Amino acid sequence: MEFGTLEREIRIEAAPEIVFDVVSRPEHIKMWWPDDASFDPVPGEMGELVWGDRDKVAPIKVVDVDPPRRFAFRWVAPDGQDPDADNSLLVTIELEPSGDGTILRLTETGWREKGWEAAVLEEAFHDHERGWDLFLPRLRNYAPSVVPR
């Protein structure tokens, strides 16, 4: 199996503007993914995703913000390093109107560039597959409850 790109696609019963807020604003992200999130959705901004009582903290760097079409960030950098193009994974979320809802396409790349040995790469890739398969349905369930701002 090739571990170069992880891709997921879901349909959400909410307008792209709402889904964009749900994937790019910390107060919404923590409702479907981590236990807490803090960052400004502005390219170049650093922030963090937190699980548990700070059991796991993942630094993130916002890369692209194009409302309501695309939001991208880098994460999974080596401990003590800020995520950048040479040391992290890139998550790109693209949104496309679909009737009265939205098609969300998530792509996570940068796996081979991490330089992990094959077994570590395979386990991390499968771990992220399981994670997105758990969290994206939560996003799909949460987004329709969000009131436009």
Q: Does domain 5-143 have CATH number 3.30.530.20?
A: yes
Tell me the C-alpha to C-alpha distance, in Å, between residue 101 and each of 1, 8, 69: 33, 17, 13
| Angle at alpha carbon of residue 60, lines to 112 and 20, rounded to 5° | 100
Q: Tokens in use for 4?
A: 């170069």
**H/E element holding 133?**
helix 118-142
The predicted pLDDT at position 133 comes to 98
* pLDDT at residue 148 in the model: 82
Q: What is the mean pLDDT of residues 73-96?
A: 95
Q: Tell me the mean pLDDT in the region 23-43.
A: 97
User: Is residue 2 very low, low, confident or very high in pLDDT (cuts 50, 70, 90)?
Assistant: confident
pTM assigned to the model: 0.96
Q: What is the pLDDT of residues 28-37, one digit of tens each?
A: 999 999 999 9
Q: Which residues contact 132 (CB under 8 A, 6 or more apart)?
A: 6, 8, 106, 108
pLDDT at residue number 1? 60
Domain borders along the chain are 5-143
Q: How confident is the model at residue 19 (pLDDT cuts 50, 70, 90)?
A: very high
